[in-house]
Amino acid sequence: MRDVTVTLDFHNTIINSDAWFQIEVFDLPGAWLRWHAAARNTEADPELIVEANAAYRRLRQAIHEHGHELTAEACLEIVLPQVGVSASDVDIIEGTEAIMFETMAGISPVDGVIDLIRDLEAADVRLGIVSSAVYHDFLLWSLDRYGITDAFDGIATSASVGWYKSRPEIYWNALDELGATPDRALHLGDSARFDVATGRRAGMQTVWYQRPGAKPLDDDPGPDLTLQSLVGSAPLILDRLSDLR
């Protein structure tokens, strides 16, 4: 079935990592300031952390709207001077890597996803990842830990591509890298907005992994398939793929 492609979201679809998500979305400058202070045997200023994280949230919300993504390091280069902090490129790079790697201690695979990936791979489905992530290497570390790096022909993060998942361009970029086209592709993810709605805008079929408590978007056509669990889900996804051939 190499004429069809499945792309998967990363966070809460392949890997669970609340600590990483917290840094990605809310606490990147605060985590960096704590790292920087610890590296110099000093205490981070709590008020400065609050101010820096608030500036980061404003930046992230703007990115969600216009869709032009920045790497974690670029975000810090913008936010830190706004709160009066001068940092070298080396410190930004080293600190970002350190705080991201520290969150690896708390990761776990989503139930059923590794079997799903291997079942799709065995069916000769081309596989890729499309993820809003400001630090690309975290995905590589995570996939390597669970021995599934080899299953994927391409990994598109918003950091590596330059587009957030509010924009279909990130999907098109991923499909171009995979040598695939939207009409022969399906995207699986847990976000009704960024996986289902944007994936459909990109011209793909969509599968929504509906986690407990998640609600569909109002006035939205919805996904082509909804799953409450990924355990044993390969036959359902393969059945959807058969419609693309």
pLDDT digits (tens, 9 = 90+) for 89-134: 999 999 999 999 999 999 999 999 999 999 999 999 999 999 999 9
> What pLDDT shows up at residue 211?
94
Q: Are strands 225-227 and 205-209 parallel, antiparallel or unpaired?
A: parallel
SS3 103: helix
Q: Which CATH architecture has domain 5-15+109-242?
A: 3-Layer(aba) Sandwich (3.40)
Residue with structure tokens 């990936």? 117
- In this structure, the dihedral spanned by the alpha carbons of residues 6, 194, 214 and 72, taken in order and rounded to 10 degrees, is 100
Residue 219: what pLDDT? Answer: 84
Query: For residues 40-56, b (16+ Cβ closer than 10 Å) or e, as one string?
Result: eeeebeeebbebbbbbb
Distance CA 24, CA 121 (A): 30
Distance CA 227, CA 206 (A): 11
**pLDDT computed for residue 1 by the predictor:** 59
pLDDT at 66: 96
Are residues 199 and 182 in contact, defined by beta-carbon separation less than 8 angstroms? no
Taking the C-alpha atoms of residue 96 and residue 90, their distance in angstroms, rounded to an integer, is 10
> 147 is written with which tokens?
């021995």
Domain definitions of the chain by residue range: 5-15+109-242, 18-105
The pTM assigned to this predicted structure is 0.95
Residue 245: the pLDDT is 65
CB contact set of 10 (below 8 Å; sequence gap of 6+): 129, 131, 133, 139, 142, 157
Task: Output the pLDDT for position 220.
Answer: 85
Cβ-in-10-Å burial (0-12, 13-18, 19+) of 86 comes to exposed
pLDDT < 50 positions in the chain: none
Q: Residue 152's pLDDT is what?
A: 98
**Residues 26, 223: Cα–Cα separation, whole Å:** 29
In the three-class reduction of DSSP (H, G, I as helix; E, B as strand; rest coil), residue 179 is classed as coil
